[in-house]
């Protein structure tokens, strides 16, 4: 018995080198186009995922009335809000008075008015919000300072005139480690490489 022989089939040739080369080049061109489209699609999908998970911080200040100890009274509030689509990893939060960074609310008030001693301010509530995470759609109260009879003159001065001298800045990152610097007087955040100083 003779062993079975296998023959290797060659791709069909038309017998003309020009036609064979044209078909090969066409196949190569289509492959390169497919690769380009796949890379473009991957880039578009990455941008879509980033857009659906990008945080956006805003600083909100208000001196409206709120219920305080059973009565309605003016209250100064500062809130950091994340109306973006993704969680914000808040790395740094700064209070700036006349463009100079201060380390605390007490120091900020003292720079605004020398009479703003801790005892003169009255009942003031504040929170250190960095480092922390702020989920999409969440707000974080940074400062709450109600106006009372005892601090009325100081409150009116600081809220009326001093509020224009205060600015806030925050450095935050997305879950993809893309980071931005947000300032309270600038609407669009500035992209930064990282929040490390």
Each residue of 70-117: pLDDT tens digit? Answer: 677 888 899 999 999 899 999 999 999 999 999 888 888 888 888 777
Tokens, residue 41: 């699609």
Looking at per-residue pLDDT, the higher value among 12 and 139 belongs to 139
Tokens, residue 80: 């950091």
Q: What is the mean pLDDT of residues 179-189?
A: 91
Give the pTM: 0.73
Contact of 176 with 88, CB cutoff 8 Å: no
Report the alpha-carbon distance of residue 1 to residue 186 in Å, rounded.
Answer: 89
Q: In Å, how far from its chain's centre is CA 76?
A: 24
96 in the Ramachandran plot: left (φ > 0), alpha (ψ -120 to 50) or beta?
beta
Each residue of 47-78: pLDDT tens digit? Answer: 776 767 789 999 998 888 776 666 778 888 99
């Amino acid at each position: 018995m003779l062993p079975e022989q296998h023959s290797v089939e060659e791709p069909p040739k038309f017998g003309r080198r020009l036609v064979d080369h044209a078909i090969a080049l066409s196949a190569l061109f289509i492959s390169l186009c497919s690769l380009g489209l796949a890379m473009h699609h991957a880039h578009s999908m990455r941008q879509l995922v980033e857009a659906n998970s990008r945080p956006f911080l805003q600083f909100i200040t208000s001196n409206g009335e709120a219920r305080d100890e059973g009565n309605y009274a003016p209250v100064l509030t500062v809130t950091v809000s994340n109306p973006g689509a993704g969680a914000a990893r808040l790395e740094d939060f700064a209070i700036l008075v006349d463009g100079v960074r201060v380390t605390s609310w007490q120091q900020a008030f003292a720079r605004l008015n020398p009479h703003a001693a801790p005892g003169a301010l009255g009942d003031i509530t504040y929170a250190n919000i960095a480092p922390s995470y702020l989920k999409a759609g969440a707000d974080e109260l940074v400062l709450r300072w109600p106006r009372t009879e005892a601090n009325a003159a100081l409150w009116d001065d600081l809220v009326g005139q001093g509020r224009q001298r205060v600015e806030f800045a925050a450095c935050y990152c997305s879950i993809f480690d893309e980071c931005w610097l947000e300032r309270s007087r600038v609407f669009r955040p500035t992209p930064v490489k990282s929040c490390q100083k």
